[in-house]
């Protein structure tokens, strides 16, 4: 289960980075 959490965090960070690059507010639902 730790792997899943780590993977989710990586995906979230990637999405956040993508949003930051676009300059848009984060709209990711947990």
pLDDT, tens only, 1-30 = 677 788 999 999 998 888 888 876 666 655
Query: What global pTM score does this model have?
Result: 0.50
Query: Per residue in 10-26, is it b (16+ CB within 10 Å) or e — as a string?
Result: eeeeeeeeeeeeeeeee
Q: How far apart are CA 28 and CA 20, in angstroms?
A: 12
Q: What is the pLDDT of residue 22?
A: 82
Torsion of CA 30, 20, 3, 5, to 10 degrees: -20
Q: What is the pLDDT of residue 28?
A: 62
* Domain boundaries along the sequence of the chain: 1-30
């Amino acid at each position: 289960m730790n792997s899943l959490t780590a993977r989710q965090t990586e995906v979230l960070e990637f999405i956040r980075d993508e949003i930051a690059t676009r300059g848009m507010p984060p709209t990711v639902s947990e």
